[in-house]
Structure 1
Amino acid sequence: MSLNAPSCGPAGMLWSARISLFWVARLGIVRGMSIKAKTHFSWLIALFGVSLMTSSAVTSVALAEGTMKGADFVRVVPDQMHQLEVAKVETFAFRPQRSAIGQIGYNEDASTIVLTPFSGRVTRLVAKLGDRVKKGDPLLEIDSPEQLVPQNDFIAAQAARRKAGSQHNLAVILEKRVRDLHEGKAAPSKDLQQAEAQLAAAEHDMRSAETAFEAARVRLRILGRTDAEISKLEQDGMLSRVTTITAPIDGTVVSRKVGPGQFVKADSGEALYTIADLSTVWLKAQIFEQDIAQVRIGQEIEARVSAVPNRVFKARINAINATSDLTTRRVVVRSEIENTDHALKSEMFAMFRISIGETSRNPAVPTDAVIREGDSGHRLGRDRALALQTPPGRDRNPAGRPDANSQRPRGRRKSPRARRDLRRQRVASMKIAFSSEVDTGSRQENASNKEAGATDAA
Structure 2
Amino acid sequence: MDMKNPISQDAKKNHADMNMEKSPSDNLIVIDPARLQSIGITYEPARSQMIEKTIRTVGRIEADERRIAHIHVKFDGWIDKLFVNFTGEKVKKNQGLFTVYSPELVATQQEYLLALDAEKILGKNPNSKAATGAEGALQAANQRLLLWGVSEKEIQRLVRTGKVAKTITIDSPIQGTVINKMAYAGMRIEPGHELYTIADLSRLWVMGDIYEYELPYIRLGQTSKVALSYLPNETFNAKLAFIYPTVDQQTRTIKVRFEIDNQKDQLKPGMYADLELKIPLGKRLVVPRDAILLTG
TM-score (norm 2): 0.72
The one-letter code sitting in structure 1 at the alignment partner of 2:271 is M
* Structure 2 Cα separation of the partners of residues 406 and 209 of structure 1: 90
Q: How much has 1:207 moved relative to structure 2? A: 4.1
Q: Which has the higher contact order (CA 8 A, sep 6+)?
A: 2
* Structure 1 Cα separation of the partners of residues 262 and 293 of structure 2: 40
CA offsets 1:101-151 (integer angstroms, 9 cap, x no match)? 221112223332212222222222212322322221101122222322321
Q: How much has 1:404 moved relative to structure 2? A: 4.5
* Structure 2 Cα separation of the partners of residues 210 and 251 of structure 1: 39
Residues 210, 256 of structure 2: 8 Å contact kept: yes
Q: Which residue of 2 aligns with 1:233?
A: 158
Counterpart mapping for 1:20-419 below 5 A: 95-127=52-84, 128-166=86-124, 168=125, 200=127, 202=128, 205-268=130-193, 271-325=194-248, 328-358=251-281, 404=290
Number of residue pairs aligned between Structure 1 and Structure 2 = 255
Residues 56, 274 of structure 2: 8 Å contact kept: yes
Q: Which residue of 1 aligns with 2:22?
A: none
Residues 101, 350 of structure 1: 8 Å contact kept: yes
Q: How much has 1:289 moved relative to structure 2? A: 2.8
Residues 51, 280 of structure 2: 8 Å contact kept: no
The one-letter code sitting in structure 1 at the alignment partner of 2:99 is E
Residues 77, 101 of structure 2: 8 Å contact kept: yes
Seen in structure 2, the aligned counterparts of structure 1 residues 155 and 308 have a Cα distance that, compared at 3 Å, is same
Seen in structure 2, the aligned counterparts of structure 1 residues 94 and 146 have a Cα distance that, compared at 3 Å, is same
SS in 2 for 1:258: coil
SS in 2 for 1:233: helix
Seen in structure 2, the aligned counterparts of structure 1 residues 231 and 296 have a Cα distance that, compared at 3 Å, is closer
Residues 146, 152 of structure 2: 8 Å contact kept: yes
Residues 253, 276 of structure 1: 8 Å contact kept: yes
Q: How much has 1:246 moved relative to structure 2? A: 0.3
Query: How many percent identity over aligned positions?
Result: 29
Residues 95, 360 of structure 1: 8 Å contact kept: no
Residues 98, 354 of structure 1: 8 Å contact kept: yes
Gaps in structure 1 of 5+ consecutive residues: 1-71, 77-89, 170-199, 365-402, 411-458
Decide which structure has greater helix share: 1
Q: Which residue of 2 aligns with 1:196?
A: none
Residues 224, 246 of structure 1: 8 Å contact kept: no
SS in 2 for 1:214: helix
Gaps in structure 2 of 5+ consecutive residues: 10-43
Decide which structure has greater strand share: 2
TM-score (norm 1): 0.48
